[in-house]
Chains A and B, each alone.
Chain A
């Protein structure tokens, strides 16, 4: 059993983008804030803080989830991927490349969350229909691009993956 009193800090051990982190957090610390403030990974954005906007979406043991709807203490021993984990050796991930080419972002606030959802989505849907992409995107709010470019970017990556 794990227990912690109100202001007591717990040592949270997680693997993020392949690297181990051990940082302290009060029980009430949201995972989104933990990533940003304790781990210094500010690529995960915090928008509405009640699970509506999708900006804080990360991959948690492979699943795209809202990091503002979890506490850091709950993430003990989990494997997390954030937007910082996408680029490899200075080369952007194909999704990041496609978002740039298709004008899938403007201000970029919603982008990290959408990328993380899109990553899970493309693994589950190698040949996605536009409707399916829209359904996945319904969990994200973008106020700049109008989604068209985002959909095109995801479709482009799907085509690339299928050779």
Chain B
């Protein structure tokens, strides 16, 4: 399996990269870490005329906290995210999610931005960033725009990004107070695509009543899903087994998974319930300890 021939450009500045995208975006493809794209090219599922390699744009490889936001460069490696003490402190959900992505050998190359724009509905980073209510910064020649992750994913492998645009940064709001968090996932073998994954964030008061939260599910629809209805019934309450069961039921009922050779629709619905419950319980227990 060898990729089809392509014209190769490796720009050394963001401006050059955006100019190339403006010119060749329609027939071209950006490559950053390449851990999803190169398999696709090797299998010739895609054969772009132009490959624009942005892996040299080191200005886009950063993790920092600024203006109340955790800012992550599009070219930040998944491995850097996993090992970052800053991320562990301000967005531990991400640090819990990243080890589920492929293997350490692919996380050493794979980027955060690449995971977002690839938009696999089972992917861990999109799911976590949706839970964290993050925004992505998208640039083209003459325009910079911000899009909430909530609106970024359109359907399978499709995002609100045009051929002349590049995702350059991710902005995650930093909580004033830490919240309970949990990322849980089920796959047949470690490193496989998730059958179902869930991310949860919960805030509780001193008595252990839930103040607010977020719950997102992956692998159950064409895009990562926000399962807010399941959280809404928990607000103002202490978590009980019956409430947890009810939240799991609601989350599962709101999903619309497709069956495939890895798991039937019914099995995914079942997993959606079970993993919703596990995520909420884990996040709740953690929030009580804060």
Q: What is A's interface to B at a CB cutoff of 8 Å?
A: 1-7, 10, 26-28, 30, 33, 49-51, 54, 57, 60, 63-66, 68-71, 73-74, 117, 121, 135-136, 138-139
**A1/B39 in contact, CB under 8 A:** no
Asked if B173 CB lies within 8 Å of chain A CBs, one says no
Is there contact, CB below 8 Å, between A65 and B105? yes
Instruction: Tell me whether B108 is interfacial, beta carbon within 8 Å.
Output: yes
Closest to B13 in A: A1
- Is B209 on the interface with A (CB-CB < 8 A)? no
Given known A-B contacts A27-B5, A117-B104, A65 and B109 have beta carbons under 8 A apart: yes
In the complex, B270 has a CB within 8 A of chain A = no
- Contact partners of A66 in chain B: CB under 8 A: 35, 105-106, 109
Residues in A whose Cβ lies below 8 Å from that of B109 = 63, 65-66, 69-70
Q: Across the A-B interface, how many residue pairs have beta carbons closer than 8 Å?
A: 108
List the 8 closest A-B pairs by CB distance, nearest first: A139-B103, A27-B8, A50-B39, A2-B10, A63-B108, A6-B5, A49-B1, A139-B105
A-B contact pairs, 18 of them (CB 8 A): A2-B10, A4-B7, A6-B6, A7-B5, A27-B6, A27-B51, A28-B2, A28-B5, A28-B6, A50-B1, A50-B39, A54-B105, A66-B106, A69-B109, A135-B99, A138-B190, A139-B105, A139-B191
Which residue on A lies nearest to B106, using beta carbons?
A51
Interchain CA distance A71-B9 in the complex, whole Å = 12
Known interface pairs A50-B39, A73-B10, A74-B53; A64-B108 also in contact (CB < 8 Å):
yes
Collect the chain A residues with CB atoms within 8 Å of residue B5's CB. 6-7, 26-28
Q: Mark B35-66, 1 if CB is under 8 A from A, else 0.
A: 10011001100000001010100000000000
Q: B108 touching A69 by the CB < 8 A rule?
A: no
Cα distance, A69 to B102, chains bound together (Å)? 13
Q: Are A3 and B8 in contact (CB under 8 A)?
A: yes
Give the residues in chain A near B105, CB-CB below 8 Å. Answer: 54, 57, 64-66, 117, 139
Residue B157 lies at the interface, judged by CB distance under 8 Å to chain A = no
Which B-chain residue is minimally distant from A58 (CB atoms)? B105
Inter-subunit contact B10/A69 (CB<8 Å): no
Contact across chains for B8 and A73 when beta carbons are under 8 A apart: yes
Task: Name the residue on B nearest A113 (C-beta).
Answer: B105
A114 to chain B, nearest CB (A): 10
CB distance from A138 to the nearest CB of B (A): 5
Whether A2 lies near B38 (C-beta < 8 A) is: no
Q: Is B189's beta carbon under 8 Å from chain A?
A: yes
A68 and B42 form a contact (CB under 8 A): yes
A64 to B102, CA, bound (A): 13
| Contact residues, B187-213 vs A (CB, 8 A) | 189-191
CA distance A139 to B110 in the complex (A): 14
- B2 cross-chain contacts in A, Cβ below 8 A: 28, 30, 33, 49
Please tell me if the beta carbons of B7 and A50 are within 8 angstroms of each other in the complex: no
How many Å from the CB of A52 to the closest CB on chain B?
A: 8
